[in-house]
Amino acid sequence: MSSTLSNSAFSPRRAPVLGLGLVVLCALLAAVAFLSVTFGSRDIGLPDVLRALGGFGAEESITSTVTLELRVPRTLLGVLVGAALGLAGAILQGVTRNPLADAGIMGINSGAAVLVVFAFTVLGIRGVNVYIWFAFAGAIVATLLGYAIASLGREGATPVKLALAGAAVTAGLGSVTSGIVMTNVDALNELRFWQVGSLAGRYAPTLTGVAPFLLAGLVAALCLGRALNGLALGEDVARGLGQRVGLTRAVAFGVVAILAGAATAACGPIVFVGLVVPHLARTLCGPDHRWILPYSMLLAPIVLLLADVLGRVAGAPGELQVGVVLGVLGAPVFVVIVRYGRLSEV
């Protein structure tokens, strides 16, 4: 694997083609974002969208209200959350060298759920714009706890120990959550709403609340490509090249905690995006993380928004939550990848 990475994967001759691929993905993301604003249980035409965005009269019109207060914040949140989940999955798969790693591997979802339940049952909080902060804090604490456990011992946080520590944290926190909600019907109902994973009902306050964390995490994540390439060559080679392996892992997990924590807090645990998208990115651009990261950042919101639009159209006049749509579509896609494509090397 080292020779493959050192020869063809980092070749600068591939840069123009891969750069063109990013341009194409940007155009595709813009097109999907337009679909997200216009399609749904109430279709909105392009002239109406432009009038609403330009503020040309019609402040009281239903179309303007739906566009500016519902569709646009929902679409922007979908772009940011999708990009965050795609990058978090790519980083986790690179750091742990585990092709099945996603945002749940370090107990992120379980940590968020524990504090969401605490907000429901102890503090009586029901509004999503309030309890997202509890979910965010729980996700970060669970991630740091998993990393701390994996760091025990002389070897430090090895890929195997990281996966095992994450599984232990997930199981422990999941049991605590289950024990609480089984004795509290109201908490169970609220948790079911949050755990389905959805962009619905997430309006401008949710977007503005998590956007600074997501944007900071996106910038930090894109700077990790070279460091992840070093880890892909093996720990001994990375150390020989002067890389501080322990520090790289700690920074990477800190970035993942911010990205996946904020995304999970805002929209609940959305499945398959962080798991499947990095494999699609590696199929398109190869094993170089300097390209995997931006490709994942663009592919993930495309997948997420398409699933959200499909859920709105298929469930009209109501809608299917994006977590449900991704679960139904993502499982067979991943089976196809495993069966016919062989899991991409990380």
Count H helices, E strands: the chain? 16, 0
Segment among 89-103, 123-137, 170-184, 221-235 with least mean pLDDT: 123-137
Confidence class of residue 3 from pLDDT cuts 50, 70 and 90? very low
pLDDT exceeds cutoff 80 at 229: yes
pLDDT exceeds cutoff 70 at 126: no
Interval 134-179: pLDDT, tens: 888 888 888 888 888 888 877 776 777 877 888 888 889 888 888 8
Interval 246-259: pLDDT, tens: 888 889 988 998 89
Cβ neighbourhood burial of 260 (10 Å; 0-12, 13-18, 19+): buried
Distance of CA 45 to the CA centre of its chain: 30
Taking the C-alpha atoms of residue 293 and residue 282, their distance in angstroms, rounded to an integer, is: 9
Q: Is 161 left (phi over 0), alpha (psi -120 to 50) or beta?
A: alpha
**Residue ranges of domains in the chain, CATH in brackets:** 2-341 (1.10.3470.10)
Residues in CB range of 139: below 8 A, 6 or more apart: 108, 109, 111, 112, 257, 260, 261, 262, 264, 265
Q: What would the DSSP string read from start to end of 198-260?
A: -STT--HHHHHHHHHHHHHHHHHHHTTHHHHHHHHT-HHHHHHTT--HHHHHHHHHHHHHHHH
Confidence class of residue 9 from pLDDT cuts 50, 70 and 90? low
The pLDDT assigned to 125 comes to 74
Element (H, E) at 336: helix 322-336
Taking the C-alpha atoms of residue 311 and residue 291, their distance in angstroms, rounded to an integer, is: 30
Q: 213-247 in b/e burial notation, b at 16+ Cβ within 10 A? A: bbeebbebbeebbebbbbbbbebeebeeeebebee
Look at the alpha carbons of 109, 114, 118, 124 in this order and tell me if their dihedral is positive or negative.
positive
What is the pLDDT averaged over residues 283-299? 94
* N-terminal to C-terminal alpha carbon distance within the chain: 9
Taking the C-alpha atoms of residue 164 and residue 152, their distance in angstroms, rounded to an integer, is: 12
Of residues 217 and 328, the one with the higher pLDDT is 217
- pTM for this one? 0.86
The pLDDT assigned to 49 comes to 66
99 neighbors 314 (Cβ within 8 angstroms): no
- Six-digit token pair at 291? 């390209």
State the average pLDDT for the chain: 81
Cβ neighbourhood burial of 90 (10 Å; 0-12, 13-18, 19+): buried
